[in-house]
């Protein structure tokens, strides 16, 4: 012990006590992926064994001592067809099996709970719809599909939870998604598996899987009192978005209630689905997709709103099912100091630096 570095000794102790050839299967998709992996390993081992045995056998049976004069051997059509068709069949089985799992992994159920994850050097920032915020941690319930909407604030990252058998690239300026359904309560390690700078090895965290009852208790205890949609509404009002996006006949921008998930016709004649990616682009780069019937007058908010602020605005728009909330923000905006018709006694929206939403708009 005295001749071994304490760091190496600690590593050896942890490795010997915690080593696992495979991580635990803690999600619904994990057993399916492991079954495919074990099948591929089994086929590979059997194939390797057959090849080694044939090489050794032929080396013994047909060496120079037994056959000093070479003999021309004719091929066998049946043999050649056998060693072609059987491997081809096995490869096709692997391909179809893998394709089925692939489509399951990238097709989240309709009732999935959506959670936003923002990667940045060198941490994971998690935003729950109810307003709960986490750093390098993610709390989820068992027995419920969870969809993660991922985006990077700086460089490429990769979100990986080995116990769930999920891994997804986290890309700057673009949403990617991955989903899982946790099955076993516990704490599982979260990794960044894409080199992202000098502290890449420290960009990790924990995924805490809880029973539904414990998860509800955690939600109640962890809430900030303001949901993402409410933060988005305040930001929507502070940016005076309702001045253009309202239901008035002379509105200069499209009306937003029920726009999420709808098929929109663009000025170019194309049709596009208003999903999270479209809403994000419309906020940060509005000239890219101009809705038919409207002029390209919306300014860009690139560099003025953080990724968390964009997420809050998207959640607000997703939850709009009527014009009531927009009308409320419009009325509030008109009562702000400096607006027409403002009175000294008029109520004011709290300033960005007086509310948790202040973290969403950069100075």
pLDDT, position 326: 65
The yes-or-no verdict on residue 129 having pLDDT over 50 is: yes
| pLDDT of the residue at 251 | 78
pLDDT tens for each residue of 299-341:
888 878 888 888 888 888 888 876 666 666 655 544 444 443 3
Please tell me the predicted confidence (pLDDT) of residue 2.
55
- Contact indicator for 286, 296 with CB cutoff of 8 Å: yes
Q: Are 245 and 237 in contact (CB under 8 A)?
A: no
Determine the Cα–Cα distance for residues 60 and 255; give it in Å rounded to an integer. Answer: 82
Q: Which of 80-84, 97-101, 175-179, 255-259 has the lowest average pLDDT?
A: 255-259
**Structure token pair of residue 138:** 């993610």
Find out whether the peptide bond into 335 is cis, omega within 30 degrees of 0: no
pTM for the complete prediction? 0.74
Q: What is the mean pLDDT of the chain?
A: 81
Give the pLDDT of residue 183. 92
In contact, 179 and 147? CB cutoff 8 Å: yes
Residue 246 confidence (pLDDT): 77
CA 229 – CA 318 distance, rounded (Å): 8
Place of tokens 């100091």: 337
Distance in angstroms (rounded) separating the CA atoms of residues 323 and 320 = 7
Tokens of 33: 């992926």
Who has greater pLDDT, 221 or 16?
221
pLDDT at 345 exceeding the cut of 60: no
- Whether the pLDDT of residue 361 is over 50: the answer is no
Q: What is the pLDDT of residue 325?
A: 62
If phi > 0 it is left, if psi is from -120 to 50 it is alpha, else beta; for residue 336 that is: beta
Nearest of 126, 282, 270 to residue 208 by alpha carbon: 126
pLDDT of residue 132 exceeding 60 = yes
With CA atoms as reference, report the closest residue to 307 among 174, 184, 159: 174
Give the CA distances from residue 41 to residues 38, 47, 164, in Å, rounded to whole numbers and listed in that order: 5, 10, 20
Joined together, the tokens standing for residue 4 give 């071994």
Q: What span, in angstroms and rounded, lies between the C-alpha atoms of 154 and 120? A: 6
16/251 Cα distance (integer angstroms): 68
Residue 310's nearest CA partner among 354, 355, 259, 362 is 362
Structure tokens at 351: 């300033």
């Amino acid at each position: 012990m005295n001749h071994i570095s304490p760091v190496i000794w600690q590593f050896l102790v942890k490795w010997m006590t915690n080593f696992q050839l495979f991580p635990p299967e803690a999600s619904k998709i994990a057993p399916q992926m492991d079954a495919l992996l074990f099948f591929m390993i089994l086929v590979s081992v059997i194939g390797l064994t057959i090849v080694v045995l044939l090489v050794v056998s032929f080396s013994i049976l047909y060496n120079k001592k037994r056959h000093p004069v070479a003999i021309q051997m004719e091929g066998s059509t049946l043999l050649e067809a056998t060693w072609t068709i059987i491997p081809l069949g096995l490869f096709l089985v692997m391909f179809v099996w893998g394709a089925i799992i692939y489509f399951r992994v990238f097709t989240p159920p309709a009732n999935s709970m959506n959670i936003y994850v923002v990667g940045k050097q060198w941490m994971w920032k998690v935003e729950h719809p109810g307003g709960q915020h986490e750093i390098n941690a993610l709390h989820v319930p068992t027995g419920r599909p969870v969809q993660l909407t991922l985006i990077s604030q700086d460089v490429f990252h990769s979100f990986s939870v080995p116990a769930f058998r999920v891994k997804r690239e986290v890309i700057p300026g673009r949403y990617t998604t991955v989903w899982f359904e946790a099955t076993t309560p516990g704490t599982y390690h979260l990794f960044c598996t894409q080199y992202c700078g000098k502290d890449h090895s420290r960009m990790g965290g924990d995924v805490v899987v809880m029973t539904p009852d414990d998860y509800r208790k955690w939600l109640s205890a962890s809430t900030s009192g303001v949901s993402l949609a409410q933060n988005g509404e305040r930001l929507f009002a502070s940016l005076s978005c309702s001045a253009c996006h309202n239901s008035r006949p002379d509105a200069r921008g499209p009306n937003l209630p029920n726009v999420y998930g709808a098929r929109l016709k663009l000025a170019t004649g194309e049709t596009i689905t208003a999903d999270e990616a479209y809403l994000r682009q419309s906020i940060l780069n509005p000239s890219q997709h101009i809705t038919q019937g409207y002029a390209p007058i919306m300014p860009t908010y690139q560099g003025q709103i953080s990724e968390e602020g964009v997420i809050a605005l998207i959640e607000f728009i997703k939850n709009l099912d009527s014009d009531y909330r927009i009308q409320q923000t419009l009325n509030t905006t008109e009562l702000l100091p400096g607006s027409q018709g403002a009175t000294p006694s008029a109520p004011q929206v709290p300033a960005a630096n007086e509310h948790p939403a202040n973290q969403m708009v950069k100075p």
